[in-house]
Structure 1
Amino acid sequence: MMELQQDLFGFEMEEAPSQPRTLSAPRQDWRAEVAPPQPELPMEHSGFEWLYDWSDREVEIMREGLLFASLHDLCDARVAEWTREEIWEWIESDEIHPFSFRVCVAAYDASIDVQELRRHIRWLVEKLDQEESQDRNLDLAALLSR
């Protein structure tokens, strides 16, 4: 039976018939190398049965994606200041772990000097801050190729 109820914002909505909800596999990256989607599992499953072994290439793609998304957000004036501060902390950290800045840079191109890249990022962000530009599109490939 369908009933009308209010959601958190006061809008009326129809309640969907009670059916077990399903949890779909993680979204695929747009690149062809990413593994095919995993089958859907009922939400009632406990644990992490939907997880699967990631290939080295898939982990590399995630590292590159994290690097590019972080640099983009760092240069986007619309991003919250605390988020930008977290990105700076990540960039400045010398820790080595699976998704550290150093490891993500090496996944993109192992020949890049991390200290030199940090210097270029600081210069770029300072320049963008000085211009007080709302449009902070960044040519990441050009930045990383320096």
Structure 2
Amino acid sequence: MRTVRVRAPESGRLPEGVEPGDRRLLLKVSGDACLVRDPATGERRYLPADRLERVDASPLDLDGDGDVPAVLRGLAGDGRAVGLLVELVSRVEEGDGGATPVRVLLDATTLCESDLHGVLAELEASGLVERVERSVGGRAYRPTDRGGEAVDSIRDR
């Protein structure tokens, strides 16, 4: 997953609800369009590929624009943790089985294995995620109810 920024169109308009400078998570490139997700709301939509530019930033760094409520920042520690929590909650909402294997999280993020385990340990200690031991695929994590409520507090802003 990569972070992209919406560029101002040279001609024409952007879709309703999309502003120049908005950051989105790039999910899929399909011809002239890209499937992106708004990290704050979880909304998915296709945007024209020529209206997007890659940003040299981790998709887990949601805190750069001050978008994260102070209460959540205090619970989770940093933007990477908040971004990972949003990712886990979004996967549950999309019906991906509830618990996401560590291997999948390593592929979906720019974190090294050590950093990923550190962020997951922090989220687990905060009561925002719980570890699930799976018979196939090893360790996985899923958000707790408290973690889901924390993400809802971002989306409700």
Q: TM-score scaled to structure 2, two decimals?
A: 0.31
Q: Which structure shows the bigger proportion of residues in strand conformation?
A: 2
Q: TM-score scaled to structure 1, two decimals?
A: 0.32
> Larger C-alpha radius of gyration, 1 or 2?
1
